[in-house]
Amino acid sequence: MKSRILYTKPSITELEVRYATDAAANGWGERCYEYIDRFERAFCEHLGAKHAIATSSCTGALHMGLAALGVGPSDEVIMADTNWIASAAPIVQLGAKPVFVDILPDSWCISPAAAEAAITLRTKAILAVHLYGNLCDMDALLAIGQRHGIPVIEDAAEAIGSQYQGRRAGSMGAFGCFSFHGTKTLTTGEGGMFVTKDAALYERVLTLSNHGRARGQTKQFWPNVVGYKYKMSNLQAAIGCGQVERIEALIARKREIMQAYRQQLAGLPGVQLNPEPPGTVIGAWMPTVVFDGASGVKREALRQAFADENVDARVFFHPLSSLPMFEDCPVNRHAWAIPGRAINLPSYHDMTVEEIARVAAVVQRLAKA
């Protein structure tokens, strides 16, 4: 049998092992926040952000950011129907309603026109998720937010390395959040980051992240509000420090793999890969193939073709409105149509030339069938 090709796995070197070992042996007492502080500073420097808070997950960062913006019962947050539920869950958990709108057929990210059409008096925010490392049309979304007085939030969980008109994904909205899950370009195993340029918002989230204890509070064990426990551990941050020192190389390797797929799949009829419009750079977290509707290629055939070659390909996200906890919204026609003819391709950092060719060959066979 052919060796298994995983869809993703982290790139861990002796640098991360050394830092994690030091954190495990010495990162206690007065040094218990040393790697966390260091990781936050380094990530801010990479991103060009003013403030960062390391968190236990991107979901936690999003939850606290939404709470700090005052999102609550009877509010609405507009977002693309094509997303993982982690982007919608905090909205629901705060008692608000996620309003699902359609995606653009080329980037698979939120349609600005659909987002603006969905604005009501209850709209509290627009959530821009940079799907698979592709970029939302941030100029259009930020202009909509400015016209209506609504903050635009960036879920950049999958977009480390992506840049829009010279600005890094996650640095443009009212706040941004990132994921460092083991599948991501930069990993801490589990973990995330909240980033913002707004000092007041930063302080509110910093308070929420520590059980509601404000930074200036002098009373010991005295919370000012009911907060959360979404802090990252020093051990995780130590791994993150090693990763962020290597971040440009990690991003570059992802882009090399994407380019290899582009070269091997170029010219195939009815096959689209992640777009990279002028003025953008995508971090290429998850190379994705979308077949044209006229091709007749379906999701189950895609899954089976890759399974037959012992390749761990991943299905495109189902529309959130198709899930049992939400109301169907098939009017979002692209969000409902594209997942049925799309697949995520493996892209871990140490993929070999031969492994990339094996994956590409499956797509080539399907496209020519």
Q: Give ∠ CA 7-356-160 in degrees, rounded to 5.
A: 55
14-245 fold: Aspartate Aminotransferase; domain 2 (3.40.640)
What the block records as the tokens of 10 is 């982290």
Rounded alpha-carbon distances, angstroms, from residue 96 to 90, 91, 141, 228, 250: 9, 5, 21, 18, 37
**Six token digits for residue 270:** 């009815």
At 216 the pLDDT is 85
Tens of pLDDT along 187-216? 999 999 999 999 999 999 999 999 999 998
Same fold flag, 14-245 and 248-368 = no
Q: What are 33-58's pLDDT values in tens digits?
A: 999 999 999 999 999 999 999 999 99
Q: Which architecture, in CATH terms, is 248-368? A: Alpha-Beta Complex (3.90)
Using one digit for the tens of pLDDT, what is the confidence trace for 174-185? Answer: 999 999 999 999
- CB count within 10 Å of CB 130 equals 27
Domain ranges of the chain: 14-245, 248-368
Buried b (16+ CB within 10 A) or exposed e, 303-328: eebbeebebbbbebbbbbbbeeebee
Question: Considering just the CA atoms, what is the radius of gyration of the chain in Å?
Answer: 21
Q: How many CB atoms lie within 10 A of CB 247?
A: 18
pLDDT, one tens digit per residue, over 244-258 is 999 999 999 999 999
Going by C-alpha positions, the residue among 114, 26, 36 that lies closest to residue 78 is 114
Largest CA distance in the chain: 71
Structure tokens, 158: 């999958």
Q: Which helix (H) or strand (E) holds 192?
A: strand 192-196
Q: How many CA atoms lie within 13 A of 129 on its CB side?
A: 28
Task: Tell me if the pTM is above 0.85.
Answer: yes
Find, among 169, 361, 162, 158, the residue nearest to 260 by Cα: 361
Pairing of strands 76-80, 97-101: parallel
At how many degrees (to 10) do helices 58-68 and 199-208 cross? 120
Convert the pLDDT of each residue in 107-164 to its tens digit.
999 999 999 999 999 999 999 999 999 999 999 999 999 999 999 999 999 999 999 9
- In a 3-state reduction of DSSP, which class is residue 319? strand
**Confidence at residue 8, expressed as pLDDT on a 0 to 100 scale:** 92
Distances (CA, A) of 234 to 123, 251, 312, 337: 37, 24, 32, 43
Which residues lie below 8 Å from residue 104, measured CB to CB, with a gap of 6+?
110, 111, 137, 334
Instruction: Say how far apart CA 43 and CA 26 lie, in whole Å.
Output: 23
Residues of the chain with pLDDT > 70: what percent? 100
